[in-house]
Amino acid sequence: MNSASREDLGDVRKRIDELDRQLIGLLKDRMDAVQDIGSAKNRDQGAAVFDPRRERELREKWAKDAEAQGLSSFHTARILREILSYSRSEQVDQQTAAVADGMESHRVGYQGEELSYSHLCIQKLFASRGGRALPRGYESFRKAVEGLQSGEVDYLLLPVENSICGSIPEVNQHLASGQLSVVDEDLWIVEHCLAGLPGAEVNNLQVLHSHPVALAQCQEFLASMPSARAEAVYDTGAAARKVAEEGDRSIAAICSEEAAEHFGLEVLRRSVGDQPKNLTRFLLLGRQEEELDLDRPAKTSLVLSVHHRRGALAEVLQVFAERDVNLTRLESRPIPESPFEYLFFIDLEGHARSEHLREALQEIRRHCNHLKVIGSYPARPLEARDVHLPPVETGPPAVAPVVKPAAALAKAKTREVMVSDVPVGGADFVLMAGPCAVENRDQIMSAAAMVAERGASILRGGAFKPRTSPYSFQGLGFPGLDLLVEAGRAVGLPVVTEVLRPEDVEGVAASADMLQVGARNMQNFALLKELGKTRRPILLKRGMSATIKELLQAAEYVFAGGNQQVILCERGIRTFETSTRSTLDVSAVPVLRELCDLPIIIDPSHAAGRRELVLPLAMAGAAAGADGMIVESHPEPDAALCDKEQALHPEDLQSLVQLLKAILAAQGRRLYC
């Protein structure tokens, strides 16, 4: 290359630099315009960022202009694609910033794509809720729920039932998980259209895309078109987009009219559904409950399971009937872990905080193993129908409290909690006995035989031990639990064992019949919350420094998670007195009896700390009216690895049972066997 051409090159490069500068300036101007459009979309209730019709127009224009100038339309199309993607991401950022600005914008997740029925219903619902909705589509219900849980969106709108197909099992499953709150509802009138490219002919269609449910709802229409093949797409909005993108007149979608219009499709036929009336009910879900004006007509959603005995469901329904509570949905779903047992989904009219419903919920608790209020929300007038307005009151929590209102005290009976097949809180007194800790196979097998022979009906034994000193025996953990269960089975007794950590709850609940919360963990709220999710009864021990009210509040944590099976245990509290390990607060028994309807048992062993004191304290507890007792007893107390001073010898246990029987007889009660 000679020096002259090198100079020319320099000039050309300068020219290119200048053109690039202009290109960037133009790009900047273009992005400013894109932002103006973004602001307009935000004002328009979060209108869709992606506008395929407009993008198609641009592609066509660019191709024409590029070719007219002698450029390759292939390469210019690639540049345009990048520019459009940059523009869209800028508008998405704008929407996110609008949320951050506190402009009352709400990110709302849904399953599907833009212009699906869920997406359309979001716009409808937020038009009446107020605030701007920024919809975000997810490919599956599970991903949408994860999006809500991780905080990626503020709400989720999920379809829960359809007037033709019934409920959507996967959505019910997420509701049952207890992680979400229902904060609103809405109804969408589904009108399926057949939509194709402009100029498409119904008789020439070969493929019909739609959501499988929509296809199932258009069976008669599909049968009338034998030459067209139905193909499932995960959502009706996506079906319409696919038809628009494929540009083939032999393909059509079954979708909403709005989706057809948005994607530039022509409605070839309206009302292609088999039923003229097709309604889908959607629930708006949040991470937590929302304040709701008690004067507004409300609905409440519950998930519950009832005791496995005759008439339990009828009793629940009877409570609602007697209190004039109108049910708007009652459905059941199998509980996979417990074959042929069912979870019930109940929606009813009224606010869970109204006096009316609080009383009803308080009463049905007695018949439920599991009861969770998953939300009270505005009753949207779904169709012209009377909305029953119960009397309202402000204040107390949505889940019926453990503490009974004074008026209910006199008539309420203690509720029975079933530990496997042993009823605690019923007419008979229940004795639970066993060693402090599971130490080895021989020890727990002989302990099980010993307590069963002497009249205990539940075997205790710690596999995870909460020890004051880190150098003391800490328990055998899960292998110890296996031994305990094996020993219990061998003598036909259900077992109770302590769980220390939230992460162990699932594993312990898989085999123990009842899970114990020790005194040291009574206010371990993470543990209590986890126990709220299980289906096993909980033996909740009073903390050493806990008041009775705090004990009840701890029980409330378990209830709030849904689990309604809690047995309270008085095990001694720390006072200035040092001659006993703890001071057994016998008065807690009648006081708790006054305040709640839960079974109450006593633990004389941990209160006494000394074997000689266990029997007198045990008698005091039974005389005070406890529903049962848990005592430590070891086949060879002197060899015990844990709490040996308080462990009863086999013969002490024998005497305890004899004395107990006499007291119970005087009270007109019996020892359960």
Q: Which does 518 bind (CB under 5 to 8 A by kind): Mn ion, ligand PEP, none?
A: ligand PEP
> What would the DSSP string read from start to end of 559-604?
HHTTB--EEEEE--B--S--SSSSB--TTHHHHHHHH--S-EEE-H
Closest alpha carbon to 254 in 242, 53, 245: 242
Q: How far is the CB of 553 from ligand PEP (least distance, A)?
A: 18
Nearer Cβ to Mn ion (418/640): 640
* φ, ψ for residue 444, nearest 5 deg: -75, -30
CB of 608 to Mn ion, least distance (A): 11
Handedness of CA 101, 106, 110, 112 (dihedral sign): negative
- Amino acid 141 reads F
Neighbours of 661 (CB within 10 A): 16
161 binds, options ligand PEP, Mn ion, none, Cβ within 5 to 8 A by partner type: none
User: Which residue's CB atom is positioned nearest to Mn ion?
Assistant: 436
Q: How far is the CB of 540 from Mn ion (least distance, A)?
A: 16
Residue 519 beta carbon to ligand PEP: minimum distance, rounded to whole angstroms: 4
- Per the CB < 8 A criterion, the answer to whether 512 and 486 are in contact is no
Interface residue list for ligand PEP (CB under 6 A): 436, 462, 466, 498, 518-520, 541, 571, 603, 606
- Choose the contact partner of 466 out of Mn ion, ligand PEP, none; CB within 5 to 8 A by kind: ligand PEP
For residue 625 the two structure tokens come to: 């009216």
Q: Which is nearer to Mn ion, 388 or 574 (CB)?
A: 574
Binding of residue 347 to Mn ion (CB under 5 A): no
Q: How far is the CB of 654 from Mn ion (least distance, A)?
A: 21
- In the complex, least distance from residue 618 CB atom to ligand PEP, rounded to whole angstroms: 15
Residue list 485-524, contact with Mn ion (CB under 5 A):
none
Q: List, in order, residues 6 or more apart from 101 with CB less than 8 Å away.
A: none
Whole-number minimum distance, CB 574 to ligand PEP, in Å?
A: 11
Stretch of 222-230, 310-318, 561-569, 640-648 contacting Mn ion, by CB under 5 A:
640-648
Which entry of ligand PEP, Mn ion, none binds 519, CB below 5 to 8 A by partner kind?
ligand PEP
> For residues 615 and 631, what is the distance between their CA atoms, to the nearest angstrom?
10
Strand partners, 378: 298
Cβ partners under 8 Å of residue 148, min gap 6: 109, 154, 155, 156, 180, 285, 286, 287
How many residues of this chain interact with Mn ion, rule: CB under 5 A? 2
Handedness of CA 477, 480, 485, 491 (dihedral sign): negative
Type of residue found at 552: L
Give the largest Cα separation in the chain, rounded: 122
Task: Pick the catalytic residue from 126, 221, 282, 344.
Answer: 282
**Binding flag, residue 643, Mn ion (CB under 5 A):** yes
Residue 541 interface partner, choices Mn ion, ligand PEP, none, CB cut-off 5-8 Å depending on type: ligand PEP
Give 364's Cβ-side CA count (13 Å radius).
32
Nearer to ligand PEP, 258 or 603 (CB): 603
Q: Which of 236, 646 has the CB closer to ligand PEP? A: 646
Query: Which of 236, 280, 300, 414 is labelled catalytic?
Result: 280
Please indicate whether residue 280 is annotated as part of the active site: yes
Q: Closest CB to ligand PEP among 323 and 467?
A: 467
Do residues 368 and 348 lie in contact, with contact meaning Cβ atoms separated by under 8 Å?
no
Among 436, 463, 505, 519, which residue interacts with Mn ion (rule: CB under 5 A)?
Answer: 436
Catalytic residue positions, numbered:
280, 282
- Contacting residues toward Mn ion, per CB under 5 A: 436, 643
